[in-house]
Amino acid sequence: MTEGGGTDYSVDIVMESKGMLTSDGYIVEVAVPFKSLRYEAGKGKFWGIHAWRNIDRNSDELDSWMPKSRSDSGTLNQAGRITGLEGVSTERTLELIPSLTVSETGRLVRTDPSRGRGIVDFGAFVNEPVALDPGLTAKFIVSSAMTLDLAVNPDFAQVEADQLVVTTNQRFPIFFPEKRPFFLEGIEIFQTPLTAVHTRAIVDPDLALKLSGKRGRNTYGVMFASDNGPGNLGFDDRAFLGDTGGSASRREQLLKVLDKNATIGVLRLKRDVGRESNIGFIATTYNFIDRHNHTAGIDGRFRLDKMTTFTFQMLGTNSHTPFFDPERDGTFDEQRGGLGYVATLNRQGRNWSLELYGEGETQHYRTEVGFTSRTNTNFNSVFLGYNSDPNQKAKVVRKHFHNFTHIDYDFQGRMQIWESELNTEWGFQRNSYLGGGYEYAYERVFEEEFGATRSAFGRQVAGIVGAARAAGLPQCDQSGTLPPLVADDPATAGDEERRIPLCTFFGNSDERSSSKNHFFFYGGIRPSKKYNLSGRFVYRDGHFDYDFGAGRRFPRVSPAALLLGQNAPFDPGPGGLLEFRGSFAYQPTNALSMQLDYTKNRLRRYDTDRVAFDVNLVSLRSTYQFTRFLFARARVDYETLPKRARGQFLVGWTPNPGTSFYVGYNDDVTVSGFHRFNGRFDDGLQRYERTFFIKASYLFRKSF
């Protein structure tokens, strides 16, 4: 657990444990070797320790070893302290985990990768040769407070896929959490408010190194990786390079990156100030051929009193990478600097909580090693909430109310979105709860966020017809055809057929805006450990359809698209968006658990009264624990938009962290969907990829 950062459930260390049921409860005994922990021992040293129990059947009752005051916003500062660590001996420990993955993959590939995508190509299913993929993970515990980690060609075949999310009508990247064990260990050292480091940016490392530890008040971490991901071209691209035909420019671009590695480095320093405050420094670097990104900044967290904390970060960036310039309507390889900032003042009392938050990233802010959802934006918010004292024996166990208001604006001073939400949630017996609320919002979108500006368009038109003629034309001809200067004049009749560049937005405005009203309610119940049901319904009145379209099933339905076709300028407009998310978990026995998740998003535009998209996601997961160490896991995901089903099936034996044996199968098919290569409808089952794999690893551990 990290104060202010929540609980980390990914910790997986070598230890011994045993549990048993008794007539009046249960007993658990755990023995953790000191060599599995990072610590400082010696005379005058204290360890903080927390122990608590969450009892679901008693309406989420929490019993703790040490008193935990709700009038104190901290958790770790209320831990008990243990002494007597003077005689703890320290050892150097070396852990080696060699691994071997044997896999065989088959995939549908283009029959002629050099041909254009307009050619009818049904593809061919190709079984690749059996692949042997050895790897090595090593850990050298230099001391009880310093660890060196090494990974050479690590394989993460056993890691479960990301959760299904709706990507339709999304303007910005979606954050997916890290799941790979090597990067999860010690990840809290590199975490900062602005997410300067997100190890998912390291896609497929050939080599990765981490040195981390703590000495006195100083915490440090260094990370290096050589990432094969950017240069590891897919099957189609490699087949294209093996063919003599095709585009010369595309061939040149592919050869430039083929099998090249990106180098990534991270430096993190942090010093404790006082009892519960710290200040830190972080720097990152990303280098891939002629693409470079460097960041550096400071951050801190200060406890002002037992209820109030202040957190901040300032991060500067310098990037040499392709930047899109809406004023020049093009992408240019340039060097640009950027700045990101965040500041939070949080006051958490027994019942009331208040948070003031501010964050911003300039237009050219980039963090290739981290994660950024949006640039050229400032986000300022106020959160005010109330939580009643819980009463586990009453019908209403707890009550919650809050207001969350925020405003976003760009660095030109233009408001992007304003929202204010009122929410209430009531908890009842049997771990049940109901909540709901209302949110009013007003959103603006600007043409330059989607492409070139009107001034850039005007310069292009002037280059075609001359400045004099361009001056007399509308700033943006929504049809994309230059009208004749003189009606029925043979001298200018040819101009009617001359195509001129289309504006980014349809019509005579470079901005769209919409007032929004959001209504939502949600709830859940867990009457026993066998059942858990939850759901959330939202209706968003005035939600934007950004006019991206959603494939062949749901082409663009804006006025521009209906008038001019699917290649028309963007024409964002409001509509009604219905959202639903539901989850049902069922555990009939201690060994078997299942969970079904369903998500639906459906938007209908107001101006054309047509459905812009209707997305349904279904995910079924199941785990059977044969013994303490032997398990089987199955997961099937289905998306209605591409009619795509993906399955993951795994049997694993994990007697301890590091020693494991996995047998798995992954599949990717469409059922009555559109063919990926030719766009035609396939009335049946079409397999696109499947993989069999076996992975084995063994932990060798030696102390000296």
**pLDDT value of residue 244:** 66
- pLDDT band (50, 70, 90) for residue 466: confident
DSSP state of 602: E
Per residue in 111-152, pLDDT (tens digit) is 766 555 556 777 888 899 999 999 999 999 888 788 999 999
3-state secondary structure 122-160: CCEEEECCCEEEEEEEEEEEEECCEEEEEEECCCCCCCC
Tokens 């254009």 correspond to what residue?
A: 116
Tell me which long-range contacts 111-116 makes (C-beta under 8 A, separation of at least 24). Answer: 112/243, 113/236, 113/237, 113/239, 113/240, 113/243, 113/246, 114/240, 114/243, 114/244, 114/245, 114/246, 115/245, 115/246
Pure H helices in 1-85: none
448 CB-near residues (< 8 Å, 6+ apart): 326, 327, 504, 510
175 CB-near residues (< 8 Å, 6+ apart): 195, 198, 371, 373
Per residue in 254-284, pLDDT (tens digit) is 888 998 999 999 999 999 998 889 999 999 9
| Nearest-angstrom CA–CA distance, 428 and 426 | 7
User: Strands, DSSP E only, in 326-414?
Assistant: 330-348, 352-361, 377-387, 396-409
Burial class of residue 230, CB neighbours in 10 A (0-12, 13-18, 19+): middle
The answer to whether residue 494 scores a pLDDT higher than 70 is: no
Say how many CA atoms lie within 13 Å of 661 toward its Cβ: 4
Tokens representing residue 690 in the block: 């499947």
Nearest to 658 by CA among 35, 10, 38, 95: 95
**pLDDT value of residue 621:** 97
Average pLDDT, the chain: 88
| Intra-chain end-to-end CA distance of the chain, in Å | 30
DSSP H or E stretch at residue 459? helix 454-465
- Do residues 3 and 77 make contact, with C-beta atoms less than 8 angstroms apart? yes
Tell me which long-range contacts 3-6 makes (C-beta under 8 A, separation of at least 24). Answer: 3/74, 3/75, 3/76, 3/77, 3/276, 3/301, 4/301, 4/309, 4/311, 5/188, 5/191
DSSP H or E stretch at residue 249? helix 248-257
pTM beyond 0.85: the answer is yes
Tokens representing residue 622 in the block: 């199941």
- pLDDT band (50, 70, 90) for residue 498: low
Per residue in 339-362, pLDDT (tens digit) is 999 999 999 999 999 999 999 999
| Nearest-angstrom CA–CA distance, 380 and 415 | 11
DSSP H or E stretch at residue 563? helix 559-564
Distance of CA 94 to the CA centre of its chain: 34
Nearest to 436 by CA among 526, 515, 577, 539: 539
Per residue in 196-219, pLDDT (tens digit) is 999 999 999 999 999 999 888 999
The answer to whether residue 448 scores a pLDDT higher than 90 is: yes
Instruction: Report the chain's C-alpha Rg in angstroms.
Output: 29
Nearest to 316 by CA among 333, 341, 286, 343: 341
Per residue in 400-422, pLDDT (tens digit) is 999 999 999 999 999 999 999 99
Tokens 């106020």 correspond to what residue?
A: 382
Per residue in 531-560, pLDDT (tens digit) is 999 999 999 999 999 999 998 899 999 999
- pLDDT band (50, 70, 90) for residue 500: low
Per residue in 84-104, pLDDT (tens digit) is 777 777 778 899 999 999 999
Q: Percent of the chain at pLDDT above 90?
A: 60
- Do residues 641 and 165 make contact, with C-beta atoms less than 8 angstroms apart? no
60 Rama sector, left if φ>0, alpha if ψ -120 to 50, beta otherwise: left
Nearest to 180 by CA among 38, 14, 10, 36: 10
Largest CA distance in the chain: 102
- Do residues 402 and 387 make contact, with C-beta atoms less than 8 angstroms apart? no
Per residue in 295-320, pLDDT (tens digit) is 999 999 999 998 999 999 999 999 99
**pLDDT value of residue 486:** 46
Tokens representing residue 392 in the block: 């586990």
- pLDDT band (50, 70, 90) for residue 9: low
The answer to whether residue 485 scores a pLDDT higher than 50 is: no
| Nearest-angstrom CA–CA distance, 231 and 423 | 47
588 CB-near residues (< 8 Å, 6+ apart): 530
